[in-house]
């Protein structure tokens, strides 16, 4: 465990780089109806039957969500919606947007921890944020797509593994420091 304390900043930097790589990887697919007798042009791939899928990265999804979130807030502030199905979809979209925005917090937190060094509050915040992110990432990976897409959306699964890795790393470091009385 001593090696972990000695190399904690390098491990955090490695995890941060992998988090960014996971957001560049596919988190979903934009499905297009292409009859089976025609080939899917790269980077699209045949998903099932008459559908091809163009991979959507986590960053691309994040940018779209930020735009939708801003539009939703502006609609609420302007009072441009009425309380019907459209308003319900708006509120569901805003909640979904907040969850997706919350997914970027571990990247920001790890970056701040690399810049500012060892801070117990940041470590605890990182533990909480990564622990809370496990549920939405798992839901994004499992519930959003049929089984054929599970292996293809590797960005989600890499991010999920990194959340677990960060929990283990920060938990061990916090425990080691608290047992030595360094905090």
The DSSP string of 114-149 is: HHH---HHHHHHHHHHHHHHHHHHHHHHHTSS-GGG
- Residue 103, φ and ψ in degrees, nearest 5: -70, -20
Asked whether the predicted pLDDT for residue 4 surpasses 60, the reply is: yes
DSSP per-residue codes, 31-54 = EEE--TTSPPPTT-EEEETTEEEE
* Distance separating alpha carbons of residues 180 and 183, to the nearest angstrom: 8
Asked whether the predicted pLDDT for residue 48 surpasses 80, the reply is: no
pTM (predicted TM-score): 0.81
Q: Is residue 46 part of a domain?
A: no
Element (H, E) at 30: strand 26-33
Q: Is residue 41 part of a domain?
A: no
Give the mean pLDDT of 9-33: 91
* Distance separating alpha carbons of residues 69 and 95, to the nearest angstrom: 9
* Distance separating alpha carbons of residues 51 and 33, to the nearest angstrom: 5
Q: Is residue 52 part of a domain?
A: no
Asked whether the predicted pLDDT for residue 18 surpasses 60, the reply is: yes
121 HSE (CA, 13 A, CB side) = 2
Q: What is the pLDDT of residue 151?
A: 66
Q: What is the pLDDT of residue 86?
A: 62
Q: Is residue 39 part of a domain?
A: no
Better pLDDT: 146 or 129: 129
Q: What is the pLDDT of residue 107?
A: 92
Asked whether the predicted pLDDT for residue 17 surpasses 80, the reply is: yes
Q: Is residue 38 part of a domain?
A: no
CA-CA distances (angstroms) from residue 71 to 60, 81, 91, 167?
A: 17, 12, 12, 34
* Banded pLDDT at 165 (limits 50, 70, 90): very high
Q: Is residue 42 part of a domain?
A: no
Q: Is residue 70 part of a domain?
A: yes
Quick: pLDDT tens for 78-119.
Answer: 876 655 556 667 777 777 777 887 889 999 999 999 998 778
Q: Indicate the number of domains in the chain.
A: 1
Q: What is the pLDDT of residue 94?
A: 74
Q: Is residue 49 part of a domain?
A: no
Give the mean pLDDT of 21-32: 88
Task: State the residue range of the domain holding 133.
Answer: 2-28+58-180
């Amino acid at each position: 465990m001593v090696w972990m304390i000695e190399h904690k900043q390098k491990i955090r930097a490695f995890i941060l780089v992998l988090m960014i790589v996971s957001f560049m990887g596919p988190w979903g697919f934009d499905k297009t109806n292409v009859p089976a007798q025609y080939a899917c042009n790269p980077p699209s791939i045949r998903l099932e039957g008459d559908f091809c899928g163009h991979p959507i990265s986590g960053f691309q999804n994040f940018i779209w969500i930020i735009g939708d979130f801003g539009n939703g807030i502006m609609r609420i502030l302007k009072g441009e919606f009425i309380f019907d199905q459209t308003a319900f979809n708006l509120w569901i979209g805003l909640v979904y947007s907040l969850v997706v925005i919350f997914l970027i917090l571990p990247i920001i937190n790890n970056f701040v921890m690399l810049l500012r060094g060892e801070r117990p509050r940041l470590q605890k915040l990182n533990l909480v944020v990564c622990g809370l992110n496990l549920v939405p990432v798992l839901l994004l990976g499992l519930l959003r797509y049929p089984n054929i897409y599970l292996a293809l959306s590797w960005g989600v699964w890499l991010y999920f593994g990194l959340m677990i890795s960060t929990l283990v790393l920060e938990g061990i470091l916090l425990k080691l420091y608290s047992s030595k009385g360094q905090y």
